[in-house]
Amino acid sequence: MKRFRTVLATSAALALIATGAAACGNDSESGPVTLRYSWWGNADRADLMQQAIDLFEDRNPDITVTPSFQEYEAYWQKLTTETAGGNMPDVIQMDFSYLREYADRGVLYDLDDQTGDALVLDDLLAGFDGVGEVDDARYAVPIGGNTWSMFYNPALFTQADVPAPQVGWTWADYHAAMAAIKSTTGVYGGGNYTGVIYNLEAQLRQEGGALFTEDGQLGFDQERLARFWQQGQDLIAQDVVLPVETAVQIKPASLWVDDLAASDLGWDNFLVRYAGETDTEIRLGPLPSDDPERLGQYLKPAMLLSASARTEHPEAAAKLISFMINDPEVGRIFGGNRGLPATNAQREAAELDGPLADVAAYEETIADQLTQAPPAPPRGAGGVEAAFIRISEELHYGRISVQQAVDQFFTEAEDILQS
Amino acid sequence: MPTNAVTATRTGPGFDERPVTPSRRRRPGDGLAGYLFLSPWIVGMLLLTIGPMAASLYLSFTDYNLFTTPEWIGIDNYRRLFDDSRWLRSVQVTGMYVLLAVPVKLAAALAVAMLLNSQRRGQGIYRAAFYGPSLIGASVSVAIVWKALFSDDAAVDRLLSMVGIRTGGWVGNPDFSLLMLVLLAAWQFGAPMVIFLAGLKQVPRELYEAAEVDGAGRWRRFWSVTVPMISPVIFFNLLLETINSFQIFTSAYVIGGRNGSPAGSTLFYTVYLYDRGFTDFRMGYASAMAWMLLLGVGLVTAMLFRTARGWVHYSGDNR
């Protein structure tokens, strides 16, 4: 029976092609289509988005796109409830940390069904191979990317007579540099990097490991985490890193405000924000690594696009996604607003200036050291990160010992990952 | 039905001269008209309050992630609460907050109400000025301003260092962050103040005069006349503020974030509940938390009512 239907459908399709009526795919796609497109961002991005959508509608007169947007937190809250109510928008902006959460629940459309036709993925940057895939299905496509990096203030490094970060420098070199800068200039050598889970991830990747295992458990043991957090405690004891009181207080600003410290680690596109907070020159450099062959850096998808599994117009949705990531004109409109574009065409078209140009140039220099991105984080990864931040804060305040912190983190993280 | 409505209006004393018999009173149409007028409220209550509450009660016994069908797990959610260190922390933080914020806020409200109770020029302006903060109280912007005020080397820090107290920023100090939120709550004393003011107006002047004749000083008059006379109002405000304080969310969420920064010192009950429901997608667990909160607030309220017998005096009670 099923086979009969397939045959029937195929012959019908062939007939359509023969008559030239298949220009817009299968017949359910013909006629005017309205797509709901939901994304997070602010009014600035809304203007750019409208320009891009207008352009898309010009090229595809049959498709109308109705956009809606919220701030990041509100966006997820709304999307969660919409999805639970079976009312998810056709095309949604996706975050790497939520991808599996949604994919596992079967609410996302497998874009492989449209790849090669409505969805063109040939032009993605090399580092993005397979990004957006969960369990061999493609649930999302990256729009832009960035990589975890070292930021530093070259003036302070020079003043302390410490060589600037370069490939081959080790974590011990970094600690020594921070101490030298603090003692010669009086400025803190850096932020306490042990409060951020991505620094642990970098160290694990440099050792050939990963933050999470394939089956979604923690990819490291208690002893490894204790070693990591102990590094932070040593730095606090030597008084070479920015105290936690200050770090917490200046939020949401960074330590580059008032030049509080000489270095920090973070996503490279943060340079744009940092440059707005200080007049001091900040440069990007490679991560410290005890294995010069492995920097552990990878191109992380900053934002992705997904379609709803329940969309009535998968082809139109795929067209929109394809347009948003490939069209050079869209790349020119957004520039660096969505992170550095994920396709070569858009990266060339985007007129990057100021700090973003620096970031793009920096990514060029380490392009061959970038390795494959890890698979989409397991469900609950967001919660694990939050627990990491809170518990390391308690540790940095000296309210708990390293061992207590490790115990607490493992209890919470395992609890979160279990469900 | 329109006919019933007409009948109903006719039953009023002015319209109906016949003696009202019990059977006449219980005509079914009368009740129906009443319910008809009540219906918007009843429908709203059922759809927007009772319905969601029932759903939440059901969900609290399930494992529900918002996407898949809820799965019945009995009282597991409730049992797990007591092993959850974050939950225990949130109970502790919230309890501490209620214990501090309610008395501080009520004391501030009563003190200012008494100041505003006397006759003075421009009284209206003062009252408006003191009531103002509570109108904008729940807004996000106030919380942001508050955070800025209490930062290192900001207004509060400078003021305190002028008198020789050096605390540094309160925002980054886990020992002070809760206090900061208590002060924010106290600053928004407008609503209870207005109620106190109304209560104070009801205290007969003769009582003060009599007390004065008997040689009672200001303090004595306050404790022996004012407090007992307005004790029902104090009790009312105490109940209201206690219940409100348990539900602190906006200011805490804006200042401390969903993690209760710094170091979990502002991890309030509702903040953790929100985090569980909307970040970890554990709606069942969050629902169980909500019902535990209801239970907790109910218990505290019942306790307050018990103690009230000892200190709340209603007029005609024992005088």
Q: Express each pLDDT in A387-419 by its tens digit.
A: 899 899 999 999 999 999 999 999 989 988 886
> Which residues in chain A (223-252) have CB-CB distances under 8 A to chain B?
244-249, 251
CA distance A253 to A269: 15
Residue contact A390–B151, C-beta within 8 A = no
| Beta-strand relationship, A33-40 and A63-70 | parallel
Nearest to A382 among B172, B174, B279 (CB): B279
- pLDDT band at residue B152 using 50, 70 and 90 as cut-offs: confident
A328 and B CB contact within 8 Å: no
Cα A351 to Cα A329: distance, rounded to the nearest angstrom: 11
Q: Rounded distance, CA A318 to CA B173, Å?
A: 49
CB-based burial label for B240 (10 Å; 0-12, 13-18, 19+): middle
Is any Cβ of chain A less than 8 angstroms from the Cβ of B260?
A: yes
Q: How confident is the model at residue B296 (pLDDT cuts 50, 70, 90)?
A: very high
Please report the pLDDT score of residue A189 as a whole number. 95
Per-residue pLDDT tens for B260-288?
A: 888 888 999 999 999 888 878 889 999 99
Q: B174: which chain A residues are within 8 Å (Cβ-Cβ)?
A: 397, 399
List of E strands, A28-82: 33-40, 63-70
The answer, yes or no, to whether residue B120 has pLDDT greater than 90, is no
pLDDT of residue A30: 58
Chain B touched by A380 (CB under 8 Å):
yes
Lowest mean pLDDT among A288-292, B4-8, B50-54, B275-279: B4-8
Q: pLDDT grade, residue B259 (50/70/90)?
A: confident
Interface test with B, best of A78, A81, A248 (most B CBs within 10 A): A248
The pLDDT value recorded for residue A273 is: 83
- The per-residue pLDDT of chain B, averaged, comes to 85
Q: pLDDT at residue B53 above 70?
A: yes
Q: Per-residue confidence at A106, pLDDT binned at 50, 70, 90?
A: confident
Inform me whether the pLDDT recorded for A62 exceeds 50: yes
Q: Report the pLDDT averaged over residues A79-97.
A: 90
Q: Which two tokens stand for residue A109?
A: 């459309």
Is residue A206 predicted with pLDDT exceeding 70?
yes
Share of chain A above pLDDT 90, in %: 56
> Measured between CB atoms, which of A84, A101, A397 is closest to B263?
A397
Find the CB nearest A248 among B86, B262, B267.
Answer: B262
The mean pLDDT of A322-347, rounded to a whole number, is 90
pLDDT in the model for residue B13:
47
In the predicted structure, residue A112 carries a pLDDT above the cut 60: yes
How far apart, in Å, are the Cα atoms of A291 and each of A88, A192, A232, A294? 45, 22, 20, 5
* pTM for the model: 0.80
**Which among A84, A244, A416 has CB closest to B66?**
A84
Mean pLDDT of A239-254: 87
Q: Pick the residue with more confidence: B91 or B131?
A: B91
Residue B175 in contact with partner chain A when CB distance is under 8 A: no
Q: Which residue of A has its CA nearest to B169?
A: A249
What are A151-189's pLDDT values in tens digits? Answer: 999 999 999 999 999 988 999 999 999 999 999 999 999
Residues B176-180 have a mean pLDDT of: 89
Interface size A-B, in CB pairs within 8 Å, comes to: 78
A399: helix, coil or strand? coil
Q: Alpha-carbon distance B178 to B186, whole Å? A: 12
